[in-house]
Structure formats: structure tokens, C-alpha cells
Chains A and B, each alone.
Chain A
Amino acid sequence: MATSTLTLNVNGTTRTVTVDPNTPLLWVLRDTLGLTGTKYGCGIEACGACTVLVDGGAEKSCDMSVTEAVGRKITTIEGLSPTSTHPVQVAWIAKQVPQCGYCQSGMILAVSELLKSNPKPTDAQIDSAINNLCVCGTYQRVREAIHFIAGN
């Protein structure tokens, strides 16, 4: 396995990694950089557990190679807020959204992106924008928490 040394911008910090350049960003975050908040669910972009923000846009990191991430700003759940007080995080606690919590890192990042572009989404807009899988079935609380943030 040939490795390359790559420079990444993760949560505002420059990180240098030496990995197989084909490695998905997900596994570099989790196994190389120790940022385990980003989760593996399917490996085929079908569940959204691995969602991170790439230049501010929600992307699935399980099928994006680390090489594609070079030169872009990566934000993981650990970097969403230095004090864990992003409005989505605050609402998630207020509404007690997570159950097992495994999918919530991806869910929270996807919602944070939605609210940036659309601060007052309708239910239909939420349905259209948020397609992360939550096997615990927290969807109703996700919706309530979004409306809570939006002041709807």
C-alpha cells in the first residue's frame, strides 16, 4: 500500500496525515486523527452517519477520498462549536432528541447546514433536506427541535 502525506484543514486546524490516498475521509478522521464523533454506518452514502461539513456543505465522508478533501475546510461534530453551544446542539438537549445517539453527529451537521441556508424551514423543506437514517426513530423530535430553533 503506497501512502501519501497530505495536509488537511479540520476544524480550523492544519493536520498532516500519511495514509493511502484512496482512504475515505471518514476513516482518516476516525482512525488517523481520532475524531470518532463522525460515524461509520454503511460505507455507501446510504445512511448519513458520516456526514461532515466540507466548505460549509453537508457531505458524506464515507465515500469521499481523503485526497478530495485536501484544500477544503472540513468541520466535524467536534468542531461545530468550541463550547458545544451551537443552536442545534442546544436545541437537541432541550428537546432530548438523541436516543442511542449514533446517527446524531451526522444529523446535527446536516440540520446546521439546512438552517444556515433556510432559517425557517417548513416540514416539507425539512423532509426534502434531511434524509439521515435514524434507526431509533427520533425524526419527530428532530423536526420539533428544528422548529424550536426557527422560532416557528
Chain B
Amino acid sequence: MNQIATPAVARRGFLTGALATGGGLMIGTAVPVSGRAATVTTKAVTTSAVNAFVVIGSDDSITILSSGAEMGQGVLSSMPQILAEELMVDWTRVKTAPAPSGAQYLNPVTHSQSTGGSNNMRSWFKPLLKIGAAAREMLVRAAATSWGVTVDKCTVANGVITNTAVTPNVSLSYGAVAAAAALLPVPQSPTLLSATTGYRLIGKPILRPDIPSKVNGSAIFGIDVRIPGMVYAAIKNAPLAGSTVKSVGAAPSGSQAVNLGDSVAVTGANTWAAFQNARSISVQWTPPAGTLLNTSAAIDTKLVSLIASGPAAVGEKVGDLAAAMAGAKQTVSMTYDLPYLAHACMEVLNATANVTATSCEVWAPTQGADLNLYTAMALTGLTADKITIHPTLLGGGLGRKFEQDFVAQAIKASQALGKPVHLTWSREEDFGHDLYRPVQKSKVTVGLDAGGNILGWNNRIAAPSVLQTHFPKYVVNGLDTAALAGATGLFYKMNARLVDYAMLNANVPVGFWRSVGESANVFVIESAIDEVAAAAGKDPLAYRQAMITDSCALAVLNAAATAAGWGTKPAAGHARGIAVYYGFGSYVAQVVEIAQATATTIKVVRVCCAIDCGQVVNPDTLIAQMQGGIVHGLSAAMWGQVTFANGAASVRNFNNYPLVRMPQMPKVDVQIVNTPGAPIGGAGEAGVPAVAPALANAYFALTGTRLRKLPLLLAPAPRYDD
């Protein structure tokens, strides 16, 4: 259990300090956020780190750290909620805070402190119960020792330990024994009270403790970090990805420019002045050598050839496809087309760094605190014990804030200037220098028998590889398994199948985007299944019911269909489409109902969603994630696309990247389908992928026209001004 920090394991920072001294650190400094935290220091209170995740104050304040990056999905609440279950504390008294980078916080499954792929809850559920139980047992043991009784004479509830060996009973609060408890050995096999009593907190729609700070302006995002002596800086990225700085012109009056090798940081009296200075400074660039594939039309042509023929890496091969196709009574073939997408987080990229000869501190809205640590080590040459990464709240992450570019820039600028630097990207830089969700074409060929059964299924996927640019060691023989996510192991009855992948090597930076490979592949598969159903003359729901082999998939499918009134006639001018998939450990089905708005446009009226993610921690947060995921998927399906002309992105701000706003918001109904005993599944990504195919399928039901290219552009772009 290396995730339960013992004093010997705890690396540095306030945890070690508190453990070494048995308390004595101020609450304000225990909240690793920003300068503002120091202003809430309560003087007479000492805190003790009972383990790496639990800090208890002598005033009975309880802070539970979350190792997950909080970007809206509620992990700053839901991970502590699991721990609090076994800690036996009153949830309304719990404060939560992001954990700094540290070995104690590495995900026990992924061995990383990065948040992505809906991994936190899935990996941490059982360890957090144990960590909470271990902390509780240490507190109880400390109390029992002070009373001179055995622990079996103690009961515990709401952060109070009661000695039942004496009459009348006497009690001690957690705060009273925390300092002593912090010195005890950490139990390695603590008893889980919830195993016998059932869950007290888990599964309840408890209020998120981060939300009050988000309604009064006190929440600290990366962009809000203010460090004494810091300078404001902005970034000028190379117009063409992969370029290096040839020369930097004179810095505008009163500013300093720093050549970062691949970009230039420019200071200013405030962020706005820094933006102006970064725009106006003249920089000469050396573009990358060779012929570049970075114009959309040429990329499209290349994708067309990649899906038509040529070598491809096999992702899944079952049975004899050629024989199956030869025996088919009917063959249907479809090509689907997906664009590059921007992340468009509400909070632009930013980071604050303070590098000295002997130390480095970084504050960043990051999905990868461990990756930031490695970046800082590589850039500064300092060892890990001299570096502290303070993850802040994220104003959206969506996969973009897992990247290291913006953090590296702040570190390098601080090194060069010899002072703390708060570096912010303008919105134009943020859109124009994204690592985009990959473009993709998929050609699906399906052979059917006379009854509409699938004899052969062939899906050729052509797309750039995110793994190739980020983790090339995971690409084996040209196969990017992330690009195939959601495209293999389908739960439909199929005899022979072949899913293969042809890598596109283009010069447009690509990265992970909320719901990763499934964001593209579920559109392809659930559109294709709908087309196959139509070719077989079957109702889309009935066909899926007949062909799905997985009872959990069927359960969410039926739940969403029933909620949407599938089988009843929609209102005049309305139609419904359905999609279902399994991903991130969860089953999700969605029915989208649309209405004809004008001769050429539609309105999305309602989305009925059913999710089975196994054990639910906070049902209200789960519902929020489905609501938000649906909006994310809907914006992308309707309007999302970035095109490139000689490497220049078509999108630079929200005025030409339409996203759903209040008037476009459909009514969303979410049902939670529970499979007793099922392992916990993910939620953050899970709501996104099914929207696009369900919408395109609804459009087919409405008009008889099949749309295979995203974005669908079926409604006017939302107005963005007032």
C-alpha cells in the first residue's frame, strides 16, 4: 500500500513537515493553492497529516486531499467522499484540496498522477476506502492509548471517538488526537466498516465542497495565482508548429522578451499589456524542414487514399472476412468523416513558475501534476525533492491541460528572468496552437444475410496517431490502440470482423480530447449499425435489441428508449435517433429527439440518457457529467471543426467556434441504471460519444438523408454577442 504515506515515504512539503513535527503547520499553508490561501490562516490552529490524504486541525477541521485534477467533473469532491466514508466524519465539515505532485498520489493502476480516460474513480475507489479506514484506526488508537484502553472499547462517529469502558462514557474529537495519531504506524490492513454496515456516504447526492467558492469568486484557478514579485507574461507561439526562433526583435517599451526556443514570452505591466506586447513583437522563425502536410484539402486527399487501399495495422481480426463477405446476400459500405477539433477550455492555458538556483515551484491548471514534475526536473536539472507542483482548479481541461507546453514555457521564462512568472496565453494563441482532436475517416463495409444478421464487418480507420506523438513506445507495428478505442470488441453479433488502422502522418499537432478515441469511433459504429438496420428493413431499436449480446448494454438501451417514448409516434415534424456504446467502464445509451425548425435546419429538443457505471459515488455529479458530456458532444456534432491552411488554424476565438448556449440547450433526462455488484465505471468522458450518432440517426429518421460527415451543420451557429 504505497499510497498510504508513512512518515518515511512522504516526500516533502507540508505533509512531511507536519509528520516530522507532529503538527505545527498553519491551515493556510496546508492548502496548496496560492497567495490568497495565506490570508485565511487561522493562527492558533495546528494541523496534522494523519496520512498523505488526511489533514486534521486541532480545531477539528478536516481536509481531505484529492489526487485528481478538478476540471468540473467533481473529483475534488468524489474522491474525498470515498475516503470520508471510512474516516467516519461529518461530510459538511470536510474541506477538500488538490494534492501536490508526489509519489503518494500516483494512480495505483496507471502509476501516474494524470487525470484522463475517466480513470480516477475506477482506480482509486478501493484504495481510498482503505486509506480512510487506516486514518480512522490511527486516530482511534491514539485516543485509546491516551485512555489506557484497548481499541475495541472505542466507538467512532462524526469525527468523535468514544471510550465505552468507563461510565459515563468519555469522548475525544479527531482534532484532539490528530497530532498523536500522525506519529503512529499506518495500519496496512485496516477494517472497512462499510463492509458490514453498508455505505453511509457513498451513493448519496452530497453537496460538492468546491461549489461555494465557485459562486463568490474565491475559487483559485491557475489564471488567478498571484505570487509575490511575479511578472505578467504572454506567449507568442510559432505560427507554424515545429518552428524554432531564428531571432527576436526589440521588446516593446517597458517589457522583456524571452526566447524560449520554440516560442517567445513577453512581459507586460499586466496580462493585457503582455498580450499587446506579445502581438507586436517581431520574431523571425525557422520553419521545420521538409514538405509539410498541413493543409486540410491535402490531408483529406491522403485520408481518402489510406482508407481505400494499402497497408494497415490489424487491431482486431476474427474469422474469415473474405469468406463471410462472399456469402453475404447484401453488402453495404459507408465512409465517415470527422474533423479536427479544438479543446476550447473556458480557462486559457496558463502557468506560474518560480525557479531559483535551488528550487522550483509551479502552479498550474494541470491534468498531469506528475508530468509537470518531470518537465520541471528536465528543464531545471533539479531533483524531485527540490520541486513542488501545485495543481490548481482547472477552468476545463478536456485533455488539453495534460500537455506540457504551457508549463514548460513558464518554467523557462522564470529561469531566464530570475523571478516568478505568471504566463498566460491569449484566446487566439489557445485556439491557434492547440493539439487538436485528430481528423479521421472510417470506411465500414458490412455483409448481411437475408435476415439482416451481420456476417462480416470491416472497419478501416485512417487518422493521425496521438500515441505516436506522445507515447511512441506504445505504438507497435504501426498500431495505435487509442485510435481504435471504441471500435473493437463490439457487443453486436458479428461472425467475421476486421478492424484495421492506417496512420496518417500529418504536420498538425494532435492530442487527447474529452472521450478520446470513442469521440470518433462511436459516431462511426452507431451510424453504421443504424444504416445496417435500415438496409435490413428493421427499426433501429428493434435491430439493436436483436443484435446486442451484452445484457448491460441492452439494459441502458431499453431504459433510454423507454424514457424517450420510443415506439410512440413523435410529434409532427419530430424524429428520434438512438445510439449505445460501452466505454471507460460504463454503458451509455442516448436517444436524441429533434424537430424540423426550418426547411434546412433542425432543433435538438430532448436527449434521454441512460448510464450504467456500476457503483455510483455521487449520483448528482454523475447526472451533471452526463448533462455536460451531452452538451460537449452536441456542440462538436453540430458545428465543431478546425481546418488548416499551410498549418494555420481556421479558428482563433469563440466568434468562429460555435458552441451550444442557453437557446440551443435541449432538455436532458438522465437515468442511472444499476447493475448490482458491477465494478465502478467512468463518468467524465462517458456522456460525450453517443450524442453525435444519435443526432445523425434522428436526422435520417426525420428526412431519410444519411449524414456521414461531421460537423452536421444542421442549425445556425449560436449568436455569441448580445
A residues sitting closer than 8 Å to B (CB atoms) are 1, 19-20, 23-24, 26-28, 30-32, 34-49, 76-78, 80-81, 84, 88-89, 92-93, 96-105, 108, 126-128, 130-143
Contact residues in A for B269 (Cβ distance below 8 Å): 1, 19-20
A-facing mask of B653-688, CB < 8 A → 1, else 0? Answer: 111000111110101100000000000000000000
Is B243 an interface position by the 8 A CB rule? no
Write the nearest CB–CB distance from B431 to chain A, whole angstroms.
10
Q: How far does the alpha carbon of A94 sit from the alpha carbon of B641 in the complex, in Å?
A: 36
What CA separation (Å) do A96 and B73 show in the bound complex?
A: 12
Q: In the bound complex, how far is the Cα of B665 from the Cα of A107, in angstroms?
A: 15
Contact of A140 among B215, B344, B394, B667 (CB under 8 A): B667
A-B contact pairs, 6 of them (CB 8 A): A1-B273, A47-B720, A99-B73, A101-B72, A101-B393, A103-B346
User: By the criterion CB–CB under 8 Å, are B270 and A32 in contact?
Assistant: yes
Other than A19-B270, A48-B722, A77-B216, give 18 A-B pairs with Cβ distance below 8 A: A23-B270, A23-B273, A27-B270, A34-B226, A37-B218, A39-B221, A40-B271, A42-B655, A47-B346, A98-B211, A100-B71, A102-B221, A103-B346, A128-B663, A130-B662, A137-B628, A137-B660, A142-B662
Q: Which residue of B lies closest to A31 (CB)?
A: B270
Q: What is the CA–CA distance of A105 and B653 in the complex, to the nearest angstrom?
A: 20
- A contact residues around B719 at 8 Å (CB): 131
Q: Is B384 an interface residue (CB 8 A)?
A: no
Report which of B72, B223, B272, B720 forms a contact with A24, defined as CB distance below 8 A: B272
- CA–CA, A76 to B632, complex, Å? 28
Q: Are B662 and A37 in contact (CB under 8 A)?
A: no
B250-293 contact mask (Cβ, 8 Å, vs A): 1 or 0: 00011000000000000001111101000000000000000000
Contact of A105 with B217 in the complex, beta carbons under 8 Å: yes
Residues of the B chain whose Cβ atoms lie less than 8 Å from the Cβ of A139:
631, 660-662, 665
Docked Cα-Cα span, A47 to B660, in Å, equals 11
Interchain CB contact under 8 A, B665 and A36: no
A80 in contact with B662 given A43-B426, A138-B628 (CB within 8 Å) = no
User: How far does the Cβ of B412 sit from chain A's closest Cβ, in whole Å?
Assistant: 22
Are A101 and B661 interface neighbours, CB within 8 A?
no
Taking a contact as CB atoms closer than 8 A, the residue among B74, B208, B346, B668 that contacts A102 in the complex is: B346
Roughly how many angstroms separate A20 CA and B273 CA in the complex, as a whole number? Answer: 9
Q: Which residues of A contact B207 (CB under 8 A)?
A: 93, 96
Interface residues of B (CB under 8 A from A): 70-74, 207-208, 210-221, 223-224, 226, 232, 253-254, 269-273, 275, 344-348, 393-396, 398, 424, 426-427, 620-621, 624, 627-632, 653-655, 659-663, 665, 667-668, 718-722
Is there contact, CB below 8 Å, between A38 and B217? yes
CA A88 – CA B216 in complex, angstroms?
10
Are the C-beta atoms of B395 and A39 separated by less than 8 Å?
A: yes
Contacts A77-B216, A135-B632 given; does A102 touch B660 at CB 8 Å: no
Cα(A3)–Cα(B273), bound, Å: 12
Q: How far is the CB of B270 from chain A (nearest CB, A)?
A: 4
A48 to B214 Cα, complex, angstroms: 16
B346 contacts A41, C-beta separation under 8 Å:
yes
Q: Give the 4 A-B CB pairs with smallest separation, nearest first.
A: A37-B217, A137-B631, A102-B395, A101-B214
Partner pick for B395 among A43, A45, A101, CB 8 A cutoff: A101
Given A96-B207, A137-B627, A138-B628, is A131 in contact with B395 using a C-beta cutoff of 8 Å?
no
- Closest CB of chain B to A15's CB: distance in Å? 15
Whether A36 lies near B224 (C-beta < 8 A) is yes
User: Which residues of chain A come closer than 8 Å to B398, judged between CB atoms?
Assistant: 135
CB distance from A112 to the nearest CB of B (A): 11
Distance (whole angstroms) from the CB of B618 to the closest CB of chain A: 9
Contact A131/B270 with A34-B226, A108-B215 known, Cβ cut-off 8 Å: no
Q: Which residue of A lies closest to B220 (CB)?
A: A36
Chain B contacts for A32, CB-based, 8 A = 270
B631 / chain A contacts, CB cutoff of 8 Å: 136-137, 139
Interface contact A140-B668, CB-CB below 8 Å: yes
- Looking across the interface, which residue of chain B has its beta carbon closest to that of A3? B269
Q: Write out the residue numbers on chain B whose beta carbons fall within 8 Å of the beta carbon of A135.
A: 344-346, 396, 398, 632, 659
B663 cross-chain contacts in A, Cβ below 8 A? 127-128, 131
Give bound CA distance, A125 to B208, whole Å. 30
With a cutoff of 8 Å between Cβ atoms, the chain A residues found around residue B348 in the complex are 40-41
A105 to B659 Cα, complex, angstroms = 19
Question: Would you call B720 and A140 a contact (CB within 8 A)?
Answer: no
Cα distance, A130 to B661, chains bound together (Å): 9
> CB-nearest residue of chain B relative to A94?
B207
Contact of A101 with B226 in the complex, beta carbons under 8 Å: no
Complex CA–CA separation, A1 to B217 (angstroms)? 31
**Which residues does chain A contribute within 8 Å of B662, judged by CB atoms?**
126-127, 130-132, 139, 142-143
Q: Determine if B654 and A76 form an interchain contact, defined as CB atoms under 8 angstroms apart.
A: no
Establish whether residues A42 and B226, one from each chain, have CB atoms under 8 Å apart when the complex forms.
no
Instruction: Give bound CA distance, A137 to B213, whole Å.
Output: 19
